[in-house]
Structure 1
Amino acid sequence: MALIATKLHSQEQNASEITETRIKKSSSFKLAFVGIAASLFVFQLDATCLGIALPTIAGDLNGTSLESFWASLAYTLCGLTMQSIWVSISDAFGRKPPLYVSLGLFFIGSVVFAVAKNMGTIIAGRVLQGLGGGGIDVLAQVILADMTTLEERSKYIGLMAIPTAIGNIMGPIVGALFSTFVSWRWIAWINLPIIATGTLLVFFFLKLRSIPLEATLAKNLNRLDWIGMALIVAGVTLFVVPLSWAGSLFPWASWQTLFPLLLGATLLVVFVIYETKPAAPIMPHRLFHTRTGNAALMGGFIHGMILVSLLQYMPLLLQAVELESAISSAVSLLPTVIVSVFIAAVSMMMVPFFGGYVWLLRLSWVILTLGTGLLALFKLRSPLSMRYGLPILWGTGVSLLRLNLLPVQASVKNVNDTGLAIGQLLTIRMFGGLVGLTISSAIFNNVFSESISSTAVQLTGALAPLKDASNAVSFIETLRSLDISSTALDEILSIYLKCFRTIFYTMTGFGGLGLLTSMLLREIDLKGHGLGNQRFEE
């Protein structure tokens, strides 16, 4: 009886300690969290700010279309290929060393970008930023999982979503302001004090349980999935690059597009099959044994498609159809920014109100699908209420869908696999973004080419560049200053509007598909108190 009483007392004490830990967080925890959030904000900001400043940069440095293409693609491609690898390395050597390397690469890449005197150096800077940024993005979420239990994680994921949402949607505004009023080089210079602050906070206050050095050096180096790393880097690169240039640099049916595309797809299939063999695979098959986890990953892919595509094309719509300047288009999206940040902050706190994440995720897909479809209501010279208001519902939906992290993490059987699961979701979501952007680009080019060839407007003089659909996006900046009749101008603007509407209709369809994936989700208890072997320690 005494032994039983002792055990009960011990269990009660442990439960009390867990509850106390869950409620009370130390100053070290809070400062480490701020450091990680600051670093994540910079990565998300840079992911969306370059597009709007790229024409100015290319003009200053006499860049070609091909160089501009690679400057835009390098950041996302390098981040995508490295995310799963960073997680695998952090499992072997601890979270902090690869995080420091990622922060260092991003810092150096920002300096290279800021001092660039030609487009080659710009591309090099973006490559370094992408390599480091991919690590920052995924390790921030993995470390957050190390720092918190599953039960309390929704609150901190919600808080971490604030800098992510601000960075994503404020990027075009920052890019427009710096490239117009100061210098595009400040897009990079502004990163340095934020990254330095985040690094110092992480260095002094992030206290994670370390992996024994002898195990790391003697065993884990050999256990790293080197072949898997090579296969995923080569496969993703060969698959994504031709998708990105198809229809613009090379035709879809050309060998330059089809050969690397098919080779990349083959390597990715080989990668998936091979992942059954390593002792510590990048993408272990055990992560795909639950229906809820797989449904969340499918939803993450579609979420990335809609998010990245519309972040790219909504500012262009405001500039091409409403004839706003780059800065004005960014200002028009400010209400969406504000609402998205608010939703990002409170979304995770709504989980208990809905009795879990399933119905909230389904509602999120409904809102996103409806919000994306409503964007097709834009017309020539839309009133300000439409310009400011229509994107808000879309912004609400994409912010709410960051909840996808919960079912992915909850479906993991072993708490130490949480980092790998997060890495899979972020990689798949970013991959979906690249695919969505490619689909949108193909739609835009094809619709514009077909429509402009049948227009009654004479494509001569200032309009001559529009004979080639590949000039359609770069010509947007010229639309506001065209000296042509209002009838001819409206005809050209209507063609642009048709392109954007087709993109919105397509992404609305994908939103409906995302809603269907949410029907496969099942509620998994979020009351887990387990912490991984690299947990936060005082």
Structure 2
Amino acid sequence: MDPQPSHACGDNPAPPEAQPQEKHGENGGSNANPDQEAQLPSGHADAATNANGNKKSLAFHLSFVGIALVAFLFSLDATTQAVALPVIADQLGGTTLQSFWANIGYLLCVVVTQPLYTAVSDVFGRKPTLYFGLVLFAVGSLVFAVARGMITVVAGRVLQGIGGGGMDLMAEVIVADMTTLQERSLYLGLLAIPTAVGSILGPTQGALFTTNVSWRWIGWFNLPILAAAFLLLLFFLRLRPVDSSIAIKLKRVDWAGAGLSLVGVALLVVPLSWAGALYPWKSWETIAPLVVGILLVLAFLLYEFKVPKAPIFPLRLFRSRTANLTLLGNFIQGASLYSLLQYLPLFLQAVTVNTALGSAIKLLPTSVTSVVFAVGGVIMVGVIGKGYRWPIRAYWLLLTLGSGLLGLSGVNTPTSMLLGLPVLWGAAIGALMRLLHLPMQASVSDVNDTGLVIGLLLVIRQLGGVVGLALSSTIFNSVFTSSINHLELPDSLATVRDASQAIAFIPQLRSLNVPADVLGPVLQAYAASMRAVFYTMTGLSAAGLFTSLFIEDVSLKRTELGRQRFEH
């Protein structure tokens, strides 16, 4: 084990003697040396007691339960819709374009709104911002549940995405407000449980509701959980409010930066989402918004570094080499996560001709392993106390190995291998989901920047997911086209000659009445296309491993709390 450096290689913006003493008041946080435990004055004795890991109040635990419900509901809803969407589109007579927007609208709204939620919560406070997200998500769930047409379904999903962006971000940020860096590994691990369980149950819930009751119950099911979370947070979440007038708060928000990021990220994400699916990569519908989006994002970055007094993502967040490399690794982790969450179930449905529910059941060992390692991986860092650098490297290596082994899967792969091969990938992706939070949060010199770096981390992960899905879709379509073009197919399989229709055609494979020697080469084409995706994610994972070689073990032994701390 390498010795732990004090903040080498740029991870401490100023030497210890140059850092100001801890300040309280409006900022309420600490700029003390991160390697030294903060000394709170006597007026904060209760906060210090809890910061050092002693007994937490009942209100703290009930608030954490409320946050856990929020995290559970966000991850559940995010993974439920893909299974139900074909049935919804069939019942409501939806077009391919409407189905696309019903699927991608949610993720798009999550990505583009999170920078705004980050800025607003720092100025107006975490609780009002979270409540706003919860209310929008509830309205969106209701609109979705009563929809009589695909346009209404899309509108409901958009509202859920706008609200869900706040739910996802605020759950992470509030846990950081409630805990010190020293104890945060424990609570990040505990928060991983509802997040992972929601991701596991989502596809199964979507299949069960769609098959046995009605897809509308996906929306109705959200409402009682939302109500329980809202009541717990309303009565027990005691965060110190941000004390200033509405006029001052409005002036503090970086509205111009928020607008640039909102439009820029949207124009960047949308063409990446539909490239290769709705429009070719070289079409003007893809290239034009993509170029404008890139220019606006660059303009946003330039503006943030030069103009506002309180930027959404201040330049100081990027002064740490460890933080920058962690962000790059997080982008790669998001690409692998979202790509394989989509293509692993599709592989089982296409290549082994399983139902959606059957594929979800076969992936249960992977899902359970992901939960165990998401919880245990980050908690063990706190328990062992030897730093996060080597565990992160080990899990990147495991992710590279696990992704590569998925390429061994094929039409004739035994069931035992289909159950076992994804498990290594699941263990690594689950562990990295939480472990990558530690170097990012440890690298900030001011505890009050923690919310900003969490927002930045989640936005980068979601962008990685969008880019990963776009890249995977392009690779799948390209390999599938080259694999299928030389085959002589009957009329019942003519649809798959258009690679853009290949994914939508998967449910029909089970009902085809064609000889095995005709269907077999088609299944082989599906297998080859998805293996190409797996190999691409293997290469990206190796790049993630490379980034981890240069991060530093910044000390986690810090006990200061921010200005929106939890008040016991």
Q: Does 1:87 align with 2:147?
A: no
Residue 87 of structure 2 is matched in structure 1 by: 56
2:316 alignment counterpart: 286
1:23 CA drift (Å): 2.2
For the pair 1:511 / 2:536, whether they are aligned, the reply is no
Q: How does 1:251-290 map to 2 (within 5 A)?
A: 251-276=280-305, 277-290=307-320
Q: Which moved more, 1:299-308 or 1:171-180?
A: 171-180
**Aligned to 1:474, what secondary structure does the other structure show?**
helix
Match of 2:267 in 1: 238
User: What's the CA shift string for 1:1-51, capped at 9, x where partnerless?
Assistant: xxxxxxxx9989988973555221111000000101101111111111111
2:215 match: 184
1:452 deviates by: 0.9
- The one-letter code matched in structure 1 to 2:267 is L
One-letter code aligned to 2:293 = G
TM-score, normalization by structure 1: 0.95
Q: Which amino acid aligns with 2:249?
A: N
1:30 aligns with 2:61: yes
Letter in 2 for 1:331: I
Q: Which amino acid aligns with 2:289?
A: P
Asked if 1:428 is matched to 2:460, the reply is: yes
Partner of 2:439: 407
Residue 441 in structure 1 maps to residue 441 in structure 2: no
Name the structure 2 match of 1:218.
247
SS in 1 for 2:288: helix
One-letter code of the match for 1:38?
L
Please name the residue that 2:7 is paired with: none
Match of 2:484 in 1: 452
CA contact (8 A) 1:92 1:216 kept: no
Partners in 1 of 2:385 and 2:246 — Cα distance?
47
Structure 2: runs of 5+ lacking an equivalent: 1-38
Kindly report which structure 2 residues correspond to 1:328-477, keeping only aligned pairs within 5 A, or say none: 328-351=358-381, 352-353=383-384, 355-401=386-432, 402-455=434-487, 458-477=488-507
TM-score, scaled relative to structure 2? 0.90
8 Å contact kept, 2:47–2:567: no
- 2:561 is equivalent to residue 534 of structure 1: no
What amino acid is aligned across from residue 511 of structure 1 in structure 2?
S
Deviations 1:485-537 (A, max 9, x none): 11111111000000010000000000000001111210011010110000000
Answer whether contact 2:59 2:237 (CA < 8 A) is retained: yes
Unmatched 5+ stretches in structure 1: 1-8
Range 64-73 or range 465-474, more displaced = 465-474
CA pair 483-520 structure 1, distance change in 2 beyond 3 A: same
The corresponding residue for 2:15 is none
CA change 1:389–1:326 in 2 (3 A) is same
Of the three residues 20, 38, 43, the one matched with 2:74 is: 43
After superposition, the Cα gap between the structure-2 partners of 1:355 and 1:182, relative to the gap in structure 1 and judged at 3 Å, is same
Q: 1:371 deviation in Å?
A: 1.0
Question: Any idea what SS the aligned residue of 2:384 has?
Answer: coil
Aligned to 1:5: none
Cα distance in 2 for residues equivalent to 1:454 and 1:77: 37
Residue type matched to 2:253 in 1? L
Runs (4+) of structure 1 exceeding 4 A deviation are: 9-17
Q: Give the secondary-structure state (helix, strand or coil) at the position aligned to 1:57.
A: helix
Contact 1:114/1:188, CA 8 A, preserved across alignment: yes
Alignment partners' CA distance in 1, 2:403 and 2:213: 34
| In 2, Cα distance between equivalents of 1:370 and 1:318 | 20
Q: How far apart, CA to CA, are the structure 1 residues paired with 2:512 and 2:75?
A: 35
1:498 aligns with 528
Specify the code of the residue in structure 1 equivalent to 2:534.
F
Cα contact 2:40–2:48 (8 A) shared by 1: no
Displacement of 1:383: 2.1
Partner of 2:165: 134
CA distance in 1, matches of 2:400, 2:98: 35
DSSP 3-state at the match of 1:190: helix
Contact kept in structure 2, 1:158 and 1:348, CA below 8 Å: yes
Distance 1:20 1:201, change over 3 A: closer
CA contact (8 A) 2:345 2:359 kept: yes
Distance 1:119 1:522, change over 3 A: same
- For 1:104 and 1:239, how far apart are their aligned partners in 2? 28
Separation of aligned partners in 1, 2:407 and 2:385: 31
Deviations along 1:397-426, one digit per CA (max 9) or x if unpaired, are 111102111111000011101000000000
Task: Measure how far apart 1:52 and its partner are.
Answer: 1.4
Is 1:205 aligned to 2:236, yes or no?
A: yes
Aligned to 2:139: 108
Deviations 1:268-308 (A, max 9, x none): 00000000211111111110000011111111100100000
| Aligned residue number for residue 326 of structure 2 | 296
Q: Work out the CA distance in 2 between the residues paired with 1:13 and 1:189.
A: 47
CA distance in 1, matches of 2:379, 2:335: 26
Whether the 8 Å CA contact 1:459–1:466 is kept in 2: the answer is no
Between the aligned residues of both structures, percent identity stands at 53
Retained in 2: the 8 A contact 1:169–1:311?
no
Query: SS of the counterpart of 2:276?
Result: coil
SS at 2:291's partner residue?
Answer: helix
Aligned to 1:194: 225
Distance in 1 of aligned mates of 2:385 and 2:405: 26
2:286 and 2:464 map into 1 onto residues whose CA distance is: 19
Separation in 2, partners of 1:77, 1:11: 45
In the alignment, the residues of structure 1 paired with residue 416 and residue 113 of structure 2 have an alpha-carbon distance, to the nearest angstrom, of 42
